[in-house]
Amino acid sequence: MRSVVRAYIYLNNHIMKNALIVAALFAAFNLNAQKPTKEKGDKPQVKKDEGFKKPPPRAPQKPFPRHWGPPPRIQTKDLRALPFGFGMGSSTLAAWIKKNAEADKAKGKERPQRPAPSPELRAKMKNIATKQASLRESHKELREQLKGQTKEKAAELIKAFRDSNREKHEELKKARQELLKDLRAKAQKGDRRE
């Protein structure tokens, strides 16, 4: 009887060892089959959760009006769109913006209107607009002339156009520079630039 039990234990152990070996080989084979083969020029595959992710670029945030004071120091960690185009932020910040905007509206504080330009500046701006319109018309004429022309003929037409309109471009450039200089020199007083 002892010999039968020993034989049974021996066979059982032998079968278990073989079964474990087969299972280990099968598992190793499956692991190798799942790994992609790396060829020259292939980029290493990184899982989405691994590695450092660069945060998306943030749009510059519009500054808050100074009379509102500093924004709340303690905020929640949620992220949402802020009202009135102030970008993204927490719901605490959104509530603070709404509260201040409502207070401004109740006080009658609306956004100040841009001051109207003086008659002198209006005349300069109108002069620039007429010069730009004349150049646009000459550009249209040039485009019509260039249709169906050979490269050589088109190059000649473009060169002639540049030579004939060089003075107009220079005048327009000087007029823009003078207008900008005047705008920067004039101080804003009330609802006008003086």
Q: Are residues 189 and 123 in the same domain?
A: yes
In a domain, 42, yes or no: no
Domain count, the chain: 2
In a domain, 25, yes or no: no
Residue 174 has what pLDDT? 92
The per-residue pLDDT for range 68-119, each reduced to its tens digit, is: 888 888 888 888 888 888 888 889 999 999 999 888 888 876 666 667 778 8
Instruction: Tell me which DSSP letter residue 80 carries.
Output: E
Q: Where is the domain boundary, 86, 107, 128?
A: 107
Query: What amino acid occupies position 189?
Result: K
In a domain, 181, yes or no: yes
Q: Are residues 149 and 87 in the same domain?
A: no
80 phi and psi angles, rounded to 5 deg: -150, 170
Q: Are residues 128 and 171 in the same domain?
A: yes
Residue 78 has what pLDDT? 87
User: For residue 93, what are the contacts with CB-CB under 8 A and spacing of at least 6?
Assistant: 71, 72, 75, 82
Instruction: Tell me which DSSP letter residue 38 carries.
Output: P
**For the stretch 60-87, what's the b/e string if a residue is b when 16 or more beta carbons lie within 10 angstroms of its beta carbon?**
eeeebeeeeeeeeeeeeeeeeebeeebe
Q: Mapping DSSP to helix (H, G, I), strand (E, B) and coil, where does residue 88 land?
A: strand
In a domain, 79, yes or no: yes
Q: Return d(Cα 53, Cα 55) in angstroms, integer.
A: 6
Q: Are residues 79 and 101 in the same domain?
A: yes
Residue 119 has what pLDDT? 86
Q: Are residues 86 and 147 in the same domain?
A: no
56 phi and psi angles, rounded to 5 deg: -65, 150
Q: How many CB atoms lie within 10 A of CB 175?
A: 16
Q: Mapping DSSP to helix (H, G, I), strand (E, B) and coil, where does residue 67 land?
A: helix
Q: Where is the domain boundary, 76, 107, 138?
A: 107
Q: Where is the domain boundary, 81, 107, 133?
A: 107
In a domain, 93, yes or no: yes
Residue 155 has what pLDDT? 92
Pick the closest to residue 175 from 119, 116, 115, 132 (CA basis). Answer: 132
Residues (pLDDT < 70) of the chain are: 1-14, 16, 19-20, 22, 25-26, 28-60, 109-114, 187-194
In a domain, 2, yes or no: no
- What length does the chain have? 194
Residue given tokens 């705008």 in the structure block: 183
Q: Are residues 80 and 100 in the same domain?
A: yes
In a domain, 149, yes or no: yes
In a domain, 9, yes or no: no
Domain hosting residue 156, numbered range:
119-193
User: For residue 186, what are the contacts with CB-CB under 8 A and spacing of at least 6?
Assistant: 118, 121, 193, 194
Q: Return d(Cα 141, Cα 135) in angstroms, integer.
A: 10
Helix and strand element counts for the chain (H, E): 4, 4
